[in-house]
Structure 1
Amino acid sequence: MRVRKGDPGAGFAEFVGQRSGALFRTAYALTGDVHVAEDLVQEALERACRHWRKVAAADSPEAYVRRVLVNLANDRWRRRSRRGERTGLAGVPEPVEPRDGFGQAELRAELIGALMGLPMGMRSVVVLHYLHDMGTEQVAEILGISASAVRSQLARGLAKLRESLRTDRAPGAPIGGVR
């Protein structure tokens, strides 16, 4: 998306329409709270709007805004940690009876719960790599860390997720008890 001459905000509304859903999914996976995720997306988009010419001129406006979003989530997590607040699953709704018969609501709640158990940096790496199918180099660029740090955080994060999702489940049973 490039800026059209003469219109500093050209393309911003289109960008929001096309990418706000993906940005929300990232924010929700990072925070586990629908309302906080909405606030983070709104703040990230507000910052992008104020500097839209610069953002639109970047190679990937979405990567730029996603980095702002991840930084905002990290800042929020650090503030809450310093104040001694619980940084876990405050706003994740209780699982509801699935309409599709496959237990997707339970699966989603369990996975978000396991993600909330990871440290924020590790969680960011896992979310960007798996939710957004980004490669090691892309994740490293967005988070401002080395590719080897991404690989390390990813391996350790997956090990922790496997361990937390393994509890109360028979060997080989799928997550959420769904067959």
Structure 2
Amino acid sequence: MEALLGAGPARSGRSRVVDDDALDFDAWVTARGPALLRLAYTLTGSRTDAEDVVQDALARALPRWDRIARFEHPEAYVRRMVVNAHTSRWRRWRRRETPHAEVVLPGVVDGPDTAMPVDEVRAVWAACAALPTDQRVAVVLRYYEQLEYREIAALTGVAEGTVRSRVSRGLATLRTSMEVDVDE
């Protein structure tokens, strides 16, 4: 829990309770909702599923918001809720077939700029969406959300070594699939 609350750009390594008045939930969702939606989209590969995952997480956060808002980094807590909601949803529906449609990127990406053409970006996202769920989650959290391995381990509830393995295997699969696409 301590690693979750200390996550974020200005992390101190310890959880602290913020003394100021609790943040207004609606204002916080308005400000941070798009980032949560982008995270969920990168995890699910589907805008509809991403919206459902974020809605589930926010519905669970609302009754606890007075307590969550007192922490120094409430976004880290809610981000964990989004990852957990995605995992629960995936477990519930993992046997169900999901057709892969053309990948459409939602909105402006809040992250590092990319010099890749749009077609290449779409190809990378399509290849990422084809990864097994555990590998996709690890790769997205590591490279899109730029989290450390220990933070990913805390978010996903697995050992750090398992996270490293999933990221390594996911990257190997992405490299292979991207090489095949380039050669065709």
TM over 0.5: yes
Q: Indicate if the aligned counterparts of 1:33 and 1:89 stay in contact, CA closer than 8 A.
A: no
Q: Indicate if the aligned counterparts of 2:18 and 2:72 stay in contact, CA closer than 8 A.
A: no
Counterpart selection for 2:122 from 98, 105, 109: 109
Q: Deviations over 1:21-62 (max 9, x none)?
A: 111111111111112212211221121111112322345311
TM-score (norm 2): 0.74
Runs of 4+ in 1 over 6 A off after TM superposition: none
1:135 maps to 148
Structure 2 letter corresponding to 1:17: T
Identity percentage over the alignment?
38
Counterpart selection for 2:97 from 69, 81, 85: 85
Pairing 1:168–2:181 present? yes
Distance 2:71 2:154 in 1: 13
Change (3 A) 1:153 1:126: same
2:27 maps to 14
Counterpart selection for 2:68 from 48, 52, 55: 55
Q: Indicate if the aligned counterparts of 2:139 and 2:170 stay in contact, CA closer than 8 A.
A: yes
Structure 2 letter corresponding to 1:21: P
Structure 2 letter corresponding to 1:149: T
Counterpart selection for 1:43 from 37, 45, 56: 56
Query: Where in structure 1 are there 5+ consecutive unaligned residues?
Result: 95-101, 171-179
Structure 1 letter corresponding to 2:91: R
1:71 maps to 84
Q: Higher relative contact order by CA 8 Å / sep ≥ 6: 1 or 2? A: 2
The Cα shift of 1:91 comes to 6.8
- The root-mean-square deviation of aligned C-alpha atoms, in Å, is 2.5
